[in-house]
Amino acid sequence: MTRRALCCALALVACSAAGQGYPTRPVTLVNPFAAGGPVDAVARIMSAPMSQALGQPVLVDYTVGAAGTIGVGRVARAAPDGYTLSIGHWATHVINAAIYPLQYDVLRDLEPVGMICANPLLIVARDSFPAKNLSELIAWLKANPDKASVGTAGVGSGSHMGGVYFQSATGTKVQYIPYKGTGPAMQDLLAGRIDFMVDQASNSLPQVRAGKIKAFAVSAKSRLSAAPEIPTVDEAGLPGLYVSVWFGIWAPKGTPRDVVAKLNAAMVSALADPAVRQRLSDLGQEITPRDQQTPEALAAFHKAEAEKWWPLVKAAGIKPE
Ligand code: MLT
């Protein structure tokens, strides 16, 4: 055996030895946004059943700021041992890379674990806002350029991209108010301190159901089964404004393959749990089909999404604040 072959064989043995005992201590799932928002909801729903499957606590931790780039960067630089994981979505793991000068590469510095679910955006307004439907909202914004305040989780977040897409489709101008996540932005919408949001269904639906905010449209081809009363953008007058915010889990690049396999198995078993499925569905989240829950499927989808969105976002010239 050559020296190089021996080194490779020893590295493989070390990797599988690392995976065999794994995990021996708590696993940290880094939410890059503030508590109470969409990523937090998915992380919290997944953490208990994943803890059970792994035999160690899966703890949700917060490293927030700059539309999620600080938290994702923390995981990209973490030890590749399976104890520090990134949970995030379309915006944190695709869009941000076309806007921010990142110190990490979202495709090369992270190891996909699996895709969890996806939810569309809802166009929602404070309860006291004068508009009763989407056409009235657009008419109001046209008559009052730059007057409406729109809550976002920062430039490049899902809510900000939804707002940018909405503005360009309607030819309106609004003022963005950035928060550390749409959890705190929702608190200000409820209090009437901001006017509207283009927010993930999972964050807005509980408030819509409670009658505390108004929902004008869902950014999807079909209505949500969790909220069939909300019209689609096609029905409400903004045809084709479709956005799907999909969620995944990643580990730092170089995490041993059998550790990734254990994490993926824990994610898959959590998603098979009827209680987990119910909680996600109630929030308007569509669970990733079983055959798409693999690390390979997330890797392929992540790459395809980057190829699709990066040229569009770069062409739009969106700049970090
Ligand atoms: C959050 O968890 O606060 C959101 O996912 C933010 C967003 O991207 O709009």
Q: In this predicted model, what pLDDT tens digit does every residue of 166-208 receive, in sequence order?
A: 999 999 999 999 999 999 999 999 999 999 999 999 999 999 9
Distance 313 CA to ligand 1 centre (A): 18
| Dihedral sign (CA 77, 82, 83, 86) | positive
Q: What is the mean pLDDT of the chain?
A: 94
**Is any atom of ligand 1 closer than 6 Å to the C-beta of 186?**
no
Total residues found in the chain within this entry: 321
Candidates 155, 165, 182, 197: which one to mutate for ligand 1, based on the most atoms within 8 Å of Cβ?
A: 182
Q: What residue has token string 């999972």?
A: 202
Residue type (1 letter), 239: P
Select from 167, 147, 164 the least CA-distant residue to 156.
164
Distance 153 CA to ligand 1 centre (A): 6
Candidates 150, 155, 189, 203: which one to mutate for ligand 1, based on the most atoms within 8 Å of Cβ?
A: 203
Give the C-alpha separation, 265 to 271, whole Å. Answer: 10
Which atom of ligand 1 approaches the CA of 180 most closely? 3
pLDDT-based confidence at 141, cuts 50/70/90? very high
**Is any atom of ligand 1 closer than 6 Å to the C-beta of 41?**
no
pLDDT above 70 coverage of the chain, percent: 94
Is residue 315 scored above 80 in pLDDT?
yes
Give the C-alpha separation, 177 to 194, whole Å. Answer: 8
Is residue 8 scored above 70 in pLDDT?
no
Distance 203 CA to ligand 1 centre (A): 9
Distance 31 CA to ligand 1 centre (A): 10
What is the pLDDT, as a whole number, of residue 321?
75
CA distances, 144 to each of 122, 140, 172, 238 (Å) = 22, 6, 9, 19
Contact 204, 215 (CB under 8 A): yes
User: For the residues 122-134, what does the mean pLDDT come to?
Assistant: 97
For the beta carbon of residue 261, count every other beta carbon within 10 angstroms.
Answer: 14
Distance 121 CA to ligand 1 centre (A): 11
Distance 17 CA to ligand 1 centre (A): 37
Q: Which two tokens stand for residue 225?
A: 């089964």
